[in-house]
Chain A
C-alpha cells in the first residue's frame, strides 16, 4: 500500500498553562477513507485536528510530525511550517468543519460573500464565476433554492442549513481531506441524520477523505470506516469500525461503548398492550390544561405560538420525559410549570391550585415545592460562591431552620449526591462537570421539592459521566419519590429515566404514553421519524438512505392517555 494521504506521527501538544494536553498520538488517513477520532472531553481529539492545520491556540507547542502526501507522491510537512505555507494547504487541500454552525459563519456577511471569499483565498475568480461556483456548492450540500440563498445572511438560515453552508465553504476548493470537528453535535437528531448522510454521499461523489471528530458512538457506527479511540492524549485503540464495535479490546473502549444508551428494538407486540390508568384519582403534582403560550407582542401582530393547546399531567413520584427538537417548546413548558412564562390560554394547576391565579405569597409557597436543574452546570453555579453556600441558598431564602441545621442539611445533601462533605468549602471551578451537575441536583433537592424540572441535565456531559449522573438521579428519585419533568432531546436518555414520555413538535403534543409503548410502538409519524433518526451505536444497522425526514405537517394521531 502506498503512503496514506495524511499521517500524524507521535504528535504531542503541550501548553504554557495547565490544561489537558496531547501526549503521543499517531493517526493515518488513507485516500477516500472516513476515520473517526473518538474520545471524551480532554482526550485531545480537537487539538489533534487543529494541529493539522496549524490552528492551535496561543501558547501551545506541538512536536512530532504531520505529513500530507499528494496523489503524485509529493510530501508536504504541516507541523512547524509558517503561516504562508499553511495558507496554501488550508481550505485547498485540507478543510475543516466546526461544531457550532451558529457562530462559525460571519454574521454580517452574506452566504454568497463568504463563499466567494473562500474561493478567492486560493486564486483569482471574477464575480460571475464565483457566483456560479457558489450556486454549485450550495447545490452539492443540498440546500434548496441556492440562487436565492446567496444573498441571505447566516441568521436567516436554520441550524442545519447553516451547517450545510459551513460544509460548502469547506468543499469550495475541492480539498483532499475534510476535518470535521463534532459537525453534528449542536444539531437536532433528525438534522444530524441528514448531515451524516450528506457527509457519506460527499465522500462517495468526490472521494474526499474525512477525519471525523466526535464523542458520539452512534455517529461513529453510522459513517466511519475506521476508529481511533483517544483517552487523555493517548491512542488506546485503533480498529475498523465493525471490529471495534464487535470486540473492543481496551478497557476504556469497552467502558465507552458500555456507557452508550441504546434504544429498544421496535416491537409490534407491545402495540396491543392496554394502557391502564390506575392512578387517576390521585391529585397530579402539576397539570397543564389546554395551555397556550405566545412569544412576541400581540399588539404588533408578531406573536407566534410557542405552545398550542397542550394537556397532560405529572403525577406524584412519576418521571415524565418531555422530548422534542429545538423550537418544539419543551423548555417553555418546563418554565410554565413554575409560572415563569406568561400564559396565553388554558390553566396550569400545581397541586390542584391555579398557579398564575394565586396570590403572590401563595405562589411563592407553591413554587417552593418546585425545583430546577439546568443544562449547563458551569453556567448554573455562581463561580465565586462556595459549593456549601450554593446548596444552602434556597434554605437561606426561605429561612429554613437554624444555621447549624442548614449546615447539617448541606452535608446530608452532598452525601445524597455522593460527594464528600469537604466539598462544601470548594469553588465550582475545582469540580469536574459531572460533580458540578451533582451539586446542581443537591441544590434542587434542598427544599424537598415535590416536583423537579430537569432541563437537559446531562447533555453537557461526557457519555460515561452522563451515565453516572443518570443512575444517581434515578436512585434519588426512587428514594425521595419526587415527581419529575425530564426535558431532553436525547431519546435514549429519556428512555432510561422516564416512566411516561410526551413528544412535542412545534409547540403541540404529538404523542403521550408509557415509555415502553412509545419507544417500541410509536403511534405518531413524527415519533417514528425521531426514533429512526437516532444513529444506532451498531455499524451493522446503517440506514440504506437516511434522507427520510420527519413529516412537516403536525400529526396528532398518536395521542394516548
Chain B
C-alpha cells in the first residue's frame, strides 16, 4: 500500500503545481481588478497606485506567483483584501461547514442510491422500475436552485417546520436537533442529483452482475434472489460504484457553491462567491487550489479503496495460480 501511494506521489505533485499556476494566471485574466473593488470608482490615481503597491500587485506576475507559492508552501495564506482577517481563519470556518454539508449530502446520496437500486432490482417489477426511473429523471433534470427554492417554499414558507437557511449558531454540531434543522434542506437539495446519478449507475451494474454466470450458479443452489443481490451482486458492483462516488464527491463540492448561496450556508461556496465578486485574489486562489487538491485526494482514496475491495487487485502477484 505504502509503495503504491509513493508511486502515485510524483504525478499528484505535478498536477497540483500545474493547477496552482493555471489558477494564479487565470484569475488575473478575469476582467476587473481588486484595486478598483477596494478603492472605489472615484479614487485618485495616487491612491490606486498606493493600494497596488501595498498588495504587491505592481510586481511582475511571475514574481507574484513565486512569492505566493512560497507562502502556500509555508502555510501562510495571507490576508484577505476585502473580507478582513487571515485567509486561513476564513478557510477553517468555511471548510468545516462545507465539509459537514457535503459529507452529509454524500452519505444521503449513497443511502438513497443503495436503497433505490437494490429495491428496484430485487423486486424486478415493471411498474416499480417505471416510477423509480421517473423520479430519477426528475432528480437529475431539475437544477439545484429550483429544487432549493421549491423546498424552501414548501418546508419554510407554506409549512414552516424548518428554517429557510442561514447561519447555524456556533457549536451547532454538538446539538443534533439543531444540526438537523439547519442541515436537512441544503443537504437533501445537494444530494438529490448525485443520488439520482448513483442510483442509475448502481442499478445498471447490479443488472449486469445478475447476468453473470456466478449468479446462475447461486440461483441453481436455491439461494433467493434478494440474498444474491445483497450479498453477491452488490459486493461485485461496489468497486466501480465507488469510482463514480469519488467523481460525485468532486461534483458535490462544486454544487455546494449554489446550495450555500440559496440557503446562506456559511461555507466555502459562499466564501468563494464573495471572493470572486471582490476579486479577492488570496481567498479565491487558495480555495480553487484546495478544491483541486480535494479532487486529486478523492481519486487517490477511491483507487486505494477499489484495490481493497477487489481481491484480484489486492492479491495480484502474491499467490500462484492466478495468471
Residues of A within 8 A of B (CB): 53, 55, 83, 86-92, 95-96, 98, 100, 103-109, 117-118, 121-122, 152-153, 155-158, 161, 166, 169-170, 172-173, 302, 327
Question: Do B321 and A157 touch (CB < 8 A)?
Answer: yes
Give the distance in Å from the alpha carbon of A98 to the alpha carbon of B20 in the complex.
56
Least CB distance, A540 to chain B, in whole angstroms: 34
Q: Top 10 nearest A-B pairs by Cβ distance?
A: A90-B222, A91-B221, A91-B222, A96-B220, A103-B213, A121-B223, A153-B311, A106-B214, A87-B222, A155-B322
Least CB distance, A144 to chain B, in whole angstroms: 13
Chain A residues within 8 Å of B232, by CB: 106, 109, 117
Residues of B within 8 A of A (CB): 212-214, 216-225, 227, 231-232, 235-236, 309-312, 315, 317, 319-323
Give the distance in Å from the alpha carbon of A157 to the alpha carbon of B231 in the complex.
22
Least CB distance, B228 to chain A, in whole angstroms: 9
Question: Do A121 and B222 touch (CB < 8 A)?
Answer: yes
Q: Do A95 and B220 contact each other (CB < 8 Å), given the known contacts A107-B214, A156-B319, A158-B321?
A: yes
Q: Is the interface of A mostly helix, strand, loop or mixed?
A: loop
By beta carbon, the residue of chain A nearest B317 is: A302
Give the distance in Å from the alpha carbon of A360 to the alpha carbon of B55 in the complex.
61
Q: Do A108 and B216 contact each other (CB < 8 Å), given the known contacts A87-B224, A91-B223, A156-B321?
A: no
Question: Do A169 and B222 touch (CB < 8 A)?
Answer: no
Chain A residues within 8 Å of B312, by CB: 107-108, 153, 155
Least CB distance, A122 to chain B, in whole angstroms: 6
Question: Do B219 and A170 touch (CB < 8 A)?
Answer: no
Least CB distance, B249 to chain A, in whole angstroms: 23
Chain B residues within 8 Å of A122, by CB: 222
Give the distance in Å from the alpha carbon of A156 to the alpha carbon of B310 in the complex.
13
Give the distance in Å from the alpha carbon of A53 to the alpha carbon of B218 in the complex.
12
Give the distance in Å from the alpha carbon of A322 to the alpha carbon of B234 in the complex.
43
Q: Report which of B221, B231, B317, B323 forms a contact with A90, defined as CB distance below 8 A.
A: B221
By beta carbon, the residue of chain B nearest A92 is: B222
Least CB distance, A102 to chain B, in whole angstroms: 8
Question: Do A156 and B322 touch (CB < 8 A)?
Answer: yes
Question: Do B223 and A153 touch (CB < 8 A)?
Answer: no
Question: Do A91 and B220 touch (CB < 8 A)?
Answer: yes
Question: Do A166 and B323 touch (CB < 8 A)?
Answer: no
Q: Do A103 and B214 contact each other (CB < 8 Å), given the known contacts A90-B220, A118-B221?
A: yes
Question: Do A104 and B214 touch (CB < 8 A)?
Answer: yes
Chain B residues within 8 Å of A103, by CB: 212-214
By beta carbon, the residue of chain A nearest B310 is: A108
Q: Report which of A95, A109, A327 forms a contact with B221, defined as CB distance below 8 A.
A: A95
Chain A residues within 8 Å of B223, by CB: 87, 91, 117-118, 121
Chain B residues within 8 Å of A100, by CB: 213
Question: Do A55 and B214 touch (CB < 8 A)?
Answer: no
By beta carbon, the residue of chain A nearest B232 is: A106
By beta carbon, the residue of chain B nearest A158 is: B321
Chain A residues within 8 Å of B225, by CB: 83
Interface centre among A96, A105, A106, A122 (most CB of B within 10 A): A106
Give the distance in Å from the alpha carbon of A456 to the alpha carbon of B310 in the complex.
33
7 contacts between A and B (CB under 8 A): A91-B223, A92-B222, A108-B309, A109-B232, A152-B319, A156-B315, A170-B220
Chain B residues within 8 Å of A170, by CB: 220-221
Least CB distance, A305 to chain B, in whole angstroms: 14
Give the distance in Å from the alpha carbon of A103 to the alpha carbon of B317 in the complex.
20
Question: Do A98 and B222 touch (CB < 8 A)?
Answer: no
Chain A residues within 8 Å of B310, by CB: 107-108
Q: Is the interface of B mostly helix, strand, loop or mixed?
A: helix
By beta carbon, the residue of chain A nearest B214 is: A106
Chain A residues within 8 Å of B309, by CB: 108
Question: Do A55 and B222 touch (CB < 8 A)?
Answer: no
Give the distance in Å from the alpha carbon of A522 to the alpha carbon of B83 in the complex.
90
Question: Do A107 and B311 touch (CB < 8 A)?
Answer: yes
Chain A residues within 8 Å of B323, by CB: 327
Give the distance in Å from the alpha carbon of A243 to the alpha carbon of B311 in the complex.
50
Question: Do A89 and B214 touch (CB < 8 A)?
Answer: no
Chain A residues within 8 Å of B216, by CB: 55, 98, 104
Chain B residues within 8 Å of A91, by CB: 220-223
Chain B residues within 8 Å of A108, by CB: 235-236, 309-312
Least CB distance, A246 to chain B, in whole angstroms: 35
Give the distance in Å from the alpha carbon of A83 to the alpha carbon of B217 in the complex.
15
Q: Do A106 and B218 contact each other (CB < 8 Å), given the known contacts A155-B321, A157-B321?
A: yes
Least CB distance, A327 to chain B, in whole angstroms: 7
Known A87-B224, A91-B220; 10 more pairs at CB < 8 Å: A55-B216, A86-B222, A92-B222, A106-B217, A107-B312, A117-B221, A117-B232, A157-B321, A161-B321, A166-B217
Give the distance in Å from the alpha carbon of A87 to the alpha carbon of B219 in the complex.
8
Give the distance in Å from the alpha carbon of A59 to the alpha carbon of B287 in the complex.
55
Give the distance in Å from the alpha carbon of A161 to the alpha carbon of B218 in the complex.
18
Chain B residues within 8 Å of A153, by CB: 311-312, 315
By beta carbon, the residue of chain A nearest B213 is: A103
Give the distance in Å from the alpha carbon of A288 to the alpha carbon of B257 in the complex.
66
Interface centre among B212, B222, B223, B227 (most CB of A within 10 A): B222
Question: Do A90 and B219 touch (CB < 8 A)?
Answer: yes
Interface centre among B235, B236, B321, B323 (most CB of A within 10 A): B321
Question: Do A105 and B321 touch (CB < 8 A)?
Answer: no
Interface centre among A88, A95, A156 (most CB of B within 10 A): A156
Least CB distance, A298 to chain B, in whole angstroms: 14
Q: Report which of B212, B222, B224 forms a contact with A89, defined as CB distance below 8 A.
A: B222
Give the distance in Å from the alpha carbon of A161 to the alpha carbon of B320 in the complex.
13
Q: Do A55 and B231 contact each other (CB < 8 Å), given the known contacts A98-B213, A107-B236?
A: no
Chain B residues within 8 Å of A109, by CB: 232, 235
Chain A residues within 8 Å of B224, by CB: 83, 87, 121
By beta carbon, the residue of chain A nearest B319 is: A156
Give the distance in Å from the alpha carbon of A87 to the alpha carbon of B223 in the complex.
7
Least CB distance, A180 to chain B, in whole angstroms: 11
Give the distance in Å from the alpha carbon of A453 to the alpha carbon of B132 in the complex.
53
Least CB distance, A107 to chain B, in whole angstroms: 6
Chain B residues within 8 Å of A302, by CB: 317
Give the distance in Å from the alpha carbon of A166 to the alpha carbon of B217 in the complex.
8
Give the distance in Å from the alpha carbon of A302 to the alpha carbon of B213 in the complex.
32
Q: Do A105 and B214 contact each other (CB < 8 Å), given the known contacts A156-B315, A156-B319, A327-B323?
A: yes
Give the distance in Å from the alpha carbon of A269 to the alpha carbon of B312 in the complex.
52
By beta carbon, the residue of chain B nearest A99 is: B213
Least CB distance, B125 to chain A, in whole angstroms: 14
Chain B residues within 8 Å of A95, by CB: 220-221
Question: Do A117 and B222 touch (CB < 8 A)?
Answer: no
Chain A residues within 8 Å of B320, by CB: 156
Question: Do B214 and A117 touch (CB < 8 A)?
Answer: no
Chain B residues within 8 Å of A155, by CB: 311-312, 315, 321-322
Question: Do A55 and B311 touch (CB < 8 A)?
Answer: no
Least CB distance, B229 to chain A, in whole angstroms: 12
By beta carbon, the residue of chain B nearest A295 is: B323
Give the distance in Å from the alpha carbon of A38 to the alpha carbon of B43 in the complex.
96
Give the distance in Å from the alpha carbon of A95 to the alpha carbon of B231 in the complex.
21
By beta carbon, the residue of chain A nearest B217 is: A104
